[in-house]
Amino acid sequence: MKQFISVDDVPGVPRLVETALGYKKDPFKDRVLGAGKTLGMIFLNPSLRTRLSTQVAAKNLGMEVVVFNIDKEGWALEMTDGTVMSGNTTEHVKEAAAVMGQYFDIMAIRTFPGLKHKEEDYTEKYIKQFIKYAGVPIVSLESATLHPLQSLTDVITIREHWQEKRKPKVVMTWAPHVKALPQAVPNSFAQWINAWGEADFVITHPKGYELDHAFSGNAPIEYDQDKALEDADFVYVKNWSSYNDYGKITCTDSSWMISNEKLAKAPNAKVMHCLPVRRNVVIADEVLDGPQSIVIPQAGNRVWAAQAVLSEILKNS
Ligand code: AN0
Ligand code: CP
């Protein structure tokens, strides 16, 4: 693997999942694979899980890690080529990425969308500038439209919690939120579940929250949440802002929150969320603190996903 930006960079999803589960069994089996190599983790936005799990994963492989909160501690970056830099930006990504590429063997970047300009976000302008100018393999820590380390984790978690012969019914449901959030997590989850092909996948959301077809593909949409949830084996909860009415909140209906009453339709379902989650807005306390939630082991699996990805890139370079 040369980079990790989307599922398209992965030669085979099942094999990567097995690699990750292998590290879960034996975290230090490749403790020298990354010896003498340095991972640079560049944050343009906050993070808890992605930052810490990827750091632990890199250390398990013997790598050194440098974390740089460039949004707070670096010069203000100019991302557009050909600009007259007489405004607020101090350093162009052309130099910044190229310089950092001299220090690191692999670079990992978190860059959220602005949610103002659909075209700029959906062409992945920011992470593409890093790919273009860094000259080393780039790993996405969540970009404008995708969050592949999260989605790999999610597939690992479903695979781990599913022993039956038939395909599990996986329902991704929209839930309310007070802020406009990216579509990256749901886009990516849909893209990976589609590529994995081992689930019966349904998406449910209010009208107006349709995702970009490039990611949701042929997954059926059920606008009736109760109907969608019927007999689900996994309920993947996430808020996102509208893709069509770009970046807007067009529904605030609190009845979309996942509560025990909602889950009466899916008594055996495991409930997943990428976290951070706003309690009693997105998911009720009773669910997060109850037996159906697997959000903590799900987040635990972030380490093994990151370790599998870094090991594949290290083996390639
Ligand atoms: C971000 C999002 O929805 O993309 C990060 C999730 C991993 N969530 C928030 O900003 C709350
Ligand atoms: N799920 C996830 O990516 O969490 P962080 O934003 O805390 O990294």
Residue having the nearest C-alpha atom to atom 9 of ligand 1: 181
pTM exceeds 0.95, yes or no: yes
pLDDT at 218: 96
Distance CA 147, CA 253 (A): 26
- Enumerate residues lining ligand 1, CB below 6 A: 181-182, 184-185, 274, 276
Q: Give the distance (Å) from ligand 2 centre to CA of residue 25.
A: 23
Residue 317's pLDDT is 82
Q: What is the pLDDT of residue 152?
A: 98
CA of 57 to the centre of ligand 2 (A): 15
pLDDT of residue 48: 98
- Cα separation of 299 and 56, whole Å? 13
Regarding the beta carbon of 150 and ligand 2, being less than 6 Å apart is answered yes
- Which numbered atom of ligand 2 lies nearest the CA of 274? 1
Beta bridge partners of 107: 40, 138
Candidates 195, 200, 198, 173; CA nearest to 186 is 173
DSSP 38-107: EEEEEESS--SHHHHHHHHHHHHTT-EEEEE-HHHHSPPEE-STT----SS--EEHHHHHHHHHHH-SEE
Pocket test for ligand 1, best of 274, 281, 295 (most atoms within 8 A of CB): 274
In the chain the beta strands, taken as DSSP E runs, fall at 38-43, 64-68, 77-78, 91-92, 106-110, 138-140, 169-174, 200-204, 234-238, 270-272
Q: Which one-letter DSSP state was computed for residue 167?
A: P
Expressed in angstroms and rounded, the spacing between residue 51 Cα and the centre of ligand 2 is 8
CB-ligand 2 contact for 275 (6 Å cutoff): yes
Who contacts 222 (Cβ-Cβ below 8 Å, separation ≥6)? 202, 203, 204, 228
Question: Ligand 2, atom 6: nearest CA belongs to which residue?
Answer: 47
* 103 CA distance to ligand 2 middle (Å): 25
50 in ligand 2 pocket by Cβ < 6 Å? yes
Q: Which atom of ligand 2 is nearest to the CA of 45?
A: 6
> Quick one: which atom of ligand 1 is closest to the CA of 150?
7
Write the CA distances from 148 to 13, 46, 190, 191, 259, integer angstroms: 11, 17, 11, 9, 28
Local confidence pLDDT in tens for the 317 residues of the chain = 999 999 999 999 999 999 999 999 999 999 999 999 999 999 999 999 999 999 999 999 999 999 999 999 999 999 999 999 999 999 999 999 999 999 999 999 999 999 999 999 999 999 999 999 999 999 999 999 999 999 999 999 999 999 999 999 999 999 999 999 999 999 999 999 999 999 999 999 999 999 999 999 999 999 999 999 999 999 999 999 999 999 999 999 999 999 999 999 999 999 999 999 999 999 999 999 999 999 999 999 999 999 999 999 999 98
Q: Which of 43, 44, 45, 47 has most ligand 2 atoms within 8 Å of its beta carbon, as the pocket-test mutant?
A: 47
